[in-house]
Amino acid sequence: MFDKLKEECGIFGIYSMDNNEALAFPTAVGLSTLQHRGEESCGIAINDGGIIVNHKDVGLVNSVFKPHILEQMPTGKMSIGHVRYSTTGDPKKENAQPMVIRHAKGNLAVVHNGNLTNALELREELQKNGAIFNSTSDTEVICYIIARERLKTHSIEDAIVNAMKYIKGAYSLLVMTSQKLIAVRDPNGFRPLCMGKLNGKDIVFSSESCAINIVGGDFERDIKPGELVVVTNNEVKSIDARNNAKETLCIFEYIYFARPDSTINGLNVHKFREEAGKYLSIQAPVDADIVAGVPDSGLDAALGYSKHSKIPYDIAFVKSKYIGRTFIQSTQKTRKAQVALKLNPIKTTVEGKKIVLVDDSIVRGNTLRRLIKTLKKAGAKEVHLRIAAPPFIDVCYFGTDIDSKENLIACQKSIEEIREEMGADSLEYLDLENVKKIVAEYGIKDFCAGCFTGKYPIEVPKEIKKDKFEKIF
């Protein structure tokens, strides 16, 4: 747990209406577009004439799938891919996805975005009945449950519908067999999943619409909560397994996780963030010379704040394009050095100025504390911190790495104490009521905001532990 929240994964898949298509490259491009959703590992599985060929490893997409690797991968009719950031299980190769298993009725490959709330209980039950696990990821639990149900049913889609009665929590899945590609979204729709068309005929699934656009496809619609979309024999059918659950997409998809060029449930992510900045300017106005965002996550909200307040928008920091994300560094000392290398203030912009500094959230606050310190060292007269989300006060059970209240500064200190620790001249968070107003304009009435309220849309465990399966080994 560092200074920015991490979302568990991104998934991408293609079903070609022709046979023997070169799917590895467009799948890798789709995964690269979703790289922000997971930087620990990645993988691609291709259905090569009924045989599933899988390549995966720890690392970024462009390092795991170098040109010669993509050229060696077979052509096929279907492909699925995955980028991973772990909320359960270590960042090891065996936890990379897709997960591929063989069972009595065929082969199965699965990629998963989300987090199960009852994975530990299911895992222990499966082990008592002889299951042997090769990873510490809850995705492998999903594979076993689907395979078990497949032995009792006439089709893979029936097996998945049965499996959905057992698995609880957040799961957007792509399931590939020798004949079918199936997209699945949990009944609450905690994590996004959408579909489109490539070349006017091939079916594309993605965690975010931006990846469909980048590969040259056309976004069609979101997968509905509790829906299965089954693609087989050049046909597409939909199955409703929602069972009257309330749709509760994670609101942090809009606040931080998703790319600004993605649209989820009819609401563009950039538009949401710009509106968040607008409401911040109404809720927490300040006399200032410029508005600046923390790259990259605060830029959209900063623009919205500037537009509505009429305070000029400017760039306070230059971001290095060649420094990796700070959360993957192994030590706190290294992370601090990386932050200093990654963001450098523009002295001529900030010197003598009163600045509104906008960011999407505060987790522990270490990065913002250093950034405000560097702004003042560069000559900023005042720094007024504006956060485009409510304070984090509770853990997340659905695929975000908020696993302990002790890591959340808002659980330890008052807003005034946080302001003082940050070194800011003022501090304001966006009210949850204003978040509700923004999404309500687009017909979104319900969403999961458990990390802001401590109230969750479904039953959650009494406690949550990161790497909760490790004790089994």
CATH number, domain of 70, equals 3.60.20.10
**38's tokens:** 């997971």
Mark whether 175 and 129 lie in a shared domain. yes
- C-alpha to C-alpha distances, 39 to 31, 35, 268, 319, nearest whole angstrom: 10, 6, 24, 19
Domain span at residue 133 reads 9-248
Q: Which of 9, 194, 210, 250 is catalytic?
A: 9
Residues 362 and 394 in one domain: yes
Is 297 found in the same domain as 214?
A: no
State the CB neighbour count (10 A cutoff) for residue 344. Answer: 14
pLDDT score for 1? 36
122 inside domain: yes
How many distinct structural domains can be found in the chain?
2
Tell me the C-alpha distance between 413 and 136, whole Å. Answer: 34
Residues 32 and 110 in one domain: yes
Distance CA 53, CA 46 (A): 5
Which of the listed residues 189, 215, 248 is the one where a domain comes to its end? 248
Q: What is the pLDDT of residue 4?
A: 58
Q: What does the block give as tokens for 442?
A: 């687009």
Q: Give the orientation angle of helix 119-128 with respect to helix 138-150, to 10 degrees.
A: 50
Answer yes or no: is 200 within a domain: yes
Contact 280, 305 (CB under 8 A): yes
pLDDT at position 215, please? 98
Whether 53 and 103 have beta carbons less than 8 Å apart is answered as: no
What pLDDT, on the 0 to 100 scale, is given for residue 70?
97
> Domain check: are 148 and 214 in the same one?
yes
Using the Cα atoms of residue 80, residue 184, residue 110 and residue 92 in order, give the sign of their dihedral. Answer: positive
Do 235 and 285 reside in the same domain of the chain? no
Residues in the chain, total: 473
In whole angstroms, what is the distance from residue 249 CA to residue 444 CA? Answer: 9
Q: End of a domain among 195, 213, 248? A: 248
What is the C-alpha separation between 337 and 367, in angstroms, rounded?
11
- Residue 465: the pLDDT is 55
Sequence-distant (≥ 6) Cβ neighbours of residue 240 within 8 angstroms? 224, 226, 227
Between the alpha carbon of residue 17 and those of residues 49, 229, 233, 235, the distances in Å are 14, 16, 8, 9
**9 catalytically annotated:** yes
pLDDT tens-place values along the chain, 473 residues long: 345 555 569 999 999 998 888 999 999 999 999 999 999 999 999 998 889 999 999 999 999 999 999 999 999 999 999 999 865 445 578 889 999 998 889 899 999 999 999 999 999 999 998 888 888 889 999 999 999 999 999 999 999 999 999 999 999 999 999 999 999 999 999 999 999 999 999 999 999 999 999 999 999 999 999 999 999 987 999 999 998 899 999 999 999 999 999 999 999 999 999 999 999 999 999 999 999 999 988 999 999 999 999 999 999 999 887 765 444 444 445 555 555 567 899 999 999 999 999 999 998 898 999 999 999 999 999 999 999 999 999 988 898 767 678 879 999 999 999 999 999 999 999 999 999 999 999 999 999 999 999 999 999 987 655 444 333 32
pLDDT at position 5 is: 55
| CA quadruple 364, 367, 370, 372: dihedral sign | negative
For 254, which DSSP code? I
Q: Same domain, yes or no, for 127 and 237?
A: yes
Confidence at residue 340, expressed as pLDDT on a 0 to 100 scale: 56
Judge if 231 and 316 occupy the same domain.
no
Question: Does residue 414 share a domain with residue 319?
Answer: yes
